[in-house]
Structure formats: C-alpha cells, structure tokens
Chain A
Amino acid sequence: MDMKRNYYEDVQLFSSGVVVFWFSVLIVALGVYPFVVKNYYVYMANYMAINIIVAIGLNLLVGYTGQISLGHAGFFAIGAYGTVILMAKVHLPFLVALPLASLVAALFGFLLGLPALRLEGPYLSIATLGFGLTITQVIGRISLFGGRQGLHTPELTIGPWHLTTDRDFYFLLITITVLLTITARNIVKTKVGRAFIAIRDADIAAETMGVNLLYYKTLAFAVSAFYTGIAGGLYAFVLRFIEPEMFSLLMSIIFLAMVVVGGLGSILGSIAGACLLSWLDLELRNILSIPYLGEWLEALSKSYFSITGVSNIQFIIYGLIMVMIMLFEPLGIYGFWIRTKIYWKTWPF
C-alpha cells in the first residue's frame, strides 16, 4: 500500500521497479512514436506537449497554491514574443533565448504575485484577467513586436542540428516536456510544494506555522509564469507565426479548463486534461468528417440552425465538458482515475 516509512520514500522519483519499467517503456514509446505515425499526428503531439507544459505550470499555481489566474495567455505571449524577438533582433541562439524570455515571463509573474498577496477570489481573478488583456493590447501596439501583422519565427538551429520538420522539433519538445514534468514533480514533493499546499489550505495558518507568504506566493506565480513562458516560446515555433490576437482571454480560459478538467492539484491530471482538450481542439475542427455523427450534425445544423455549417461547435463541447466534470467529478480525470484504481484494487470485494 501507500505507506511511507521515511522521508526519502516520500520524495523519491520511482517508488518501485515496476514504475521504473513503465517509465522506460513510456520514454521508448515517445521516442519511437514519430517514426510510426503520420506527420499530422506528430504535429498533434507537439501541440499536446505545449499544452501539457502550460497545464502543469498553471496547476502549480491554481491547484497547489490555490491562486486563480485568468491571465496566463499574457505569460504565454511574453514567452512567445520574447523568444522570437531575442532570436530575430538580438541574434541569440534558441537555447539561450528561450530561458531568457521565460525568465522575463517569470519576472512579470513575480510582479503580478505582489498584488496577489492581498487579493483572493474574484478580486484576484479580475486582476490577472486585466493583466492578460493588457499584455495583448500592449504587444499589439508596439512596432518592435510586429504590431497587428504579427511576426514570423526565424530558422531554428541548435548547434549542428537544423530543425525544419515537425518531427525534428518533436524530439526537442518532448525532451523539454519530460524534464519540466520531473521538475514540477520534484517541486511539489519537497519543501516548496508543501509550502504551496499549506498556503492553499489555509494561508493564515500557514503563515503562523512559519511559511513566508511573500516569498512562496510570488514564487508560485513566478514558477507558473516560467513554465508558461517556456511553452509560449516553443508554441511560436510550432505555428511558425505569431500575432497578438491569438493570446486572447479565451486562451487563458482554455488553459484553466485543462487544469480543472484534468484535476486540480495533480500533475498526472494536468497531463490528461491537456491531452484531452488539445485533442478535442484539433479534432473538433473537422467534426463533420466523422462518420454518422458528422452527417447527423450537418443535417441538424441545416434544418434548425444556420446553413453555413458548424463553425463554433467546439465551444459548446468544451463548455459541456467543463460543466459536466465540475458537476459529476469535481476532481476531474484524476479523481476518476483514483476511484477506478481503488475499485479494482479491492475487486471483487
């Protein structure tokens, strides 16, 4: 069972040989994946990996520290624009520009964390929301950032490797994702993570126990922003083109939806939520080509709704998933997984 006998057992990365085995299987599967599937699915995996990074970063803030944020599209934009500008205008190599841009995002996260020390609930949500909207507006107005026309990303070269295809980029992206996931897991299992959780459960009690609120709340914002910044920088190279309109409030909402659908306060949940929602996002764009369901929807749409097709149906499905998850399984996919696991552990009793 899950009994821990000493501190080392609580923080160790792999609790048993079985976990090591499945982890290596996962790594090998991820390595083989781009060679056995079509290019579109590699693109899809890239898209998922980016959302996984954001979801983990946001979960550190929302799920572990209990601070709501509706402004993560702002950090995402800072990461994306920062990386592209540093590479195109300052001619820094990618592996320097990406962390630098993310550090800028982390700095903004720290600054946003300062008012957050005194705010909670709706007050915090409106402050972060305002931050996200402001960043988009400011970027759209400054000519260095390409204004409303947007920017094309430069060629991506790391040392001797020239990354041109989705498959080349996949390996870079998956490496970063796995590293960041392990880092996040280490953060939440050690002192910092326990401080975050204490702040979430009762911030005043945490402060009396000696948790420095100023330090850990701003740290949570900064770490979360750093993750989102990294994801933003990578996203620019998946799309190869960025414009300010992409980083809208809707994007922040979708990030939050990933975290909540996956399960608050769980890294596994963030991964599941990010994968599910990015898969839906890509698949629902061509919902009409699904057999039977697509034809039925098209007929329904033509007879009762508009003749122009089902352009915005993904909103309805997203909304339904968010509402249903919160109504029936408030812990998200992770809660469902835990319940299934417990059920089968004691089956048939």
Chain B
Amino acid sequence: MIDFLQMIASGIAVGSSYALMGLAMVIIYKTSEVVNFAQGEMALLSVFLTYMGLEYYHIPYYIAFPGALAFAVFLGCFLEFAVLRRAKEPNVLGMIIITIGLEMILLGFVSWKFGADPKTMPFPVSPYDSVMIGEVFVSALEVLTFVVALTVMVILFLFLRYSKLGVAMKATQQNYTAARLMGIKTNRILMITWGISSLVGCVAGLLIAPVTMQPYMMWDPMLKGFAAAVMGGMTSLPGSVFGAYIIGIIENLFGGYVSIEFKSVVAFMIIVLVLCFKPSGLFARHYVKKV
C-alpha cells in the first residue's frame, strides 16, 4: 500500500511538470492553432542562460530566476513577431514545420554553446532532501514543483477569467475577425500569448533542470505535455492538466508494477487508445465540420 501511495505521489510530482508544458502548448494552440514543437527548446534556452548567469557570473537567485522568466517572455514574443507572423498562407502542417525548425535552431544553439555533457543546476531547493507526508517520502523539489504548478494554474485561471487582457485573449480564440472588429489588436494578443506560453514553459524547465540538465532534457517533458494536452482535447486548459496527472500517475504505476523498461512509451499507448474512442480528446467540445 505504501508502495502504491509512493508511486502515486511521484506520479503527481512528474505530472506537475507535464501539466505546465501541456498548459503552455494549449495556450498557443487555442489562440493560433499552431502546435508549438519549439516549446521545450524555448524553455531550454532560458534555463541554460540562467545556468550561465548563476554559474559563471554568480548572479544571486533572486535576480536570476525573475530574469529568466522575463527573458522567456521576451523570447516568446520575439519568435512570434519575427517568425510566426511572417508566414505566408499558413496551414497546420506548415506551422508545425516552422516550429520544428525553430526547435532545431534553438537546440543546435544550446548544444553548440554549452556542449552535450550533463550539468548540475545550482538551485535553492535540493532534489535530494526528502519530506515525509504521512508515510510517503517526497523530495523537497517535488513538493515545490507541485506547489508552483498549482499556483501557475490558479493565476492562469484568474488571469483568463477576470483580467481585461485575458478576456481579450479569449475573444481572439473564439472569433478572430469579430475580435478584430471590436477593436482588439489581435496581432498583439497573439504575441502576448506566445510570451505567456513561453513563461509557463520556462517555469517547467527551471523545475526540471535540478534533476537532469543537458540539451535534450526538455524532449521528454514536452512530448508528454503535448500528449497530455492532446488527451485533454488540445483546447481545454483543465483537460490538459487532468491528462498530465493521469499520464504521470499511470506511467509511475506501470513502471512499478508491470515493466520499468516500457515506462516511457506507455503514455503514448494510452493516448492512441483514448484517441481511438474519443478522437478529439476527453474534454474537447464536439463540433461539426463543414465541407
């Protein structure tokens, strides 16, 4: 029983970082119908620049981390402004190709600058300190990840529901032309969307970095986050969070009881099964396609 609870606990911790990546992808997909494969590498660049600041220039934490988040927002806005907006006659596949291209540029840049060998990120909370909750051991970092993820979700929820900018984003999602006619600067909204998404991704990256840090570290969380988002319906924020926790927990249970070797691919098998029965995810609204 303790084993079971232990696996659930670490599943929730892993699920939190998937949830952040999934949220980041959903925010962009909802507004602009772009599947952003560069999400992980955008976070990767911010994380490695933070590492550089902390390790080489000895910047204190309280400057470095907000700096990283600010850089992430800038990077997201810049990529939307400089690349995505310039696409002629965009279609789904073309956009996917552009984001994959961006991903490779960022990945190549990071592994050129920092090399492929693993590094240790200096971080105020150690992944090796453990905390007892009831009879279950969890590391301090896992607790922090969970708390931060929840905070980000609540802030996002409040932001989208109550702030003027959040409502404008929702309007842009629902009807681009009508939003434009109502005086919303939709281009600017798209840019801000990318900034916010990049920020959320960067939070996930900073929380993953203390455990594993090398140029490919964001691939797995990004793909799992994407899988979670697809499972939740790709347009639903609560859906992607739900999907992420489900994937995190099932992955850990599968790794513990069935086979540790296939732990990393079981998520995709679940996705394919879910998609066979609910082709547009668990939480997506049903819509009728017109010819």
Contact = CB atoms under 8 A, between A and B. Distances in A.
Closest 10 CB pairs of A and B: A130-B268, A315-B108, A322-B101, A319-B104, A319-B105, A316-B108, A118-B279, A323-B101, A319-B101, A312-B111
A134 interface: yes
B183 to A, nearest CB: 29
A interface, size bucket? 35 or more
Interface string B77-117: 00000010011110011101110111111111101111110
Contact of B268 (A122, A133, A204, A260): A133
A245 B291 CA distance: 43
Given A123-B234, A126-B271, A127-B271, A319 B103 contact: yes
A127 B261 CA distance: 20
Given A133-B268, A137-B264, A301 B112 contact: yes
A313 interface: yes
Contacts of B93: 62, 68, 260, 264
Interface of B: 29, 35, 83, 86-89, 92-94, 96-98, 100-109, 111-116, 215, 219, 223, 226-227, 230, 234, 261-262, 264-265, 267-269, 271-272, 275-276, 279-281, 289, 291
19 contacts: A121-B35, A122-B234, A126-B226, A130-B268, A133-B264, A134-B265, A305-B113, A311-B111, A312-B111, A313-B112, A315-B108, A318-B101, A319-B100, A319-B104, A320-B101, A326-B87, A326-B97, A328-B88, A330-B89
A126 B98 contact: no
Contacts of B114: 306
Contacts of A312: 107-108, 111-112, 116, 215
A315 B105 contact: yes
Contacts of B264: 133, 137
A314 interface: yes
A312 B269 CA distance: 32
Contact of A327 (B29, B86, B103, B107): B86
A258 B157 CA distance: 41
B87 A327 contact: yes
B23 to A, nearest CB: 15
B289 A204 contact: yes
Interface string A223-255: 000000000000000000000000001000100
Contacts, number: 153
A115 B280 CA distance: 12
Contacts of A315: 104-105, 107-108, 111
Nearest to A67: B93
B291 to A, nearest CB: 5
Interface in A57-99: 62, 68
B250 to A, nearest CB: 14
Contact of B96 (A125, A249, A301, A316): A125
A119 B97 contact: no
Nearest to A254: B104
Contacts of B106: 319
Contact of A323 (B89, B105, B108): B105
Contacts of B262: 137-138, 141
A308 interface: yes
A131 B275 CA distance: 13
Contacts of A129: 223, 268
B97 A260 contact: yes
Contacts of B35: 121-122, 125
Contacts of A138: 262, 265
A214 to B, nearest CB: 15
A122 B230 contact: yes
A316 B291 contact: no
A322 B98 contact: yes
Contacts of A141: 261-262
Q: Name the residue among A62, A131, A313, A315 with the largest chain B CB count within 10 angstroms.
A: A315
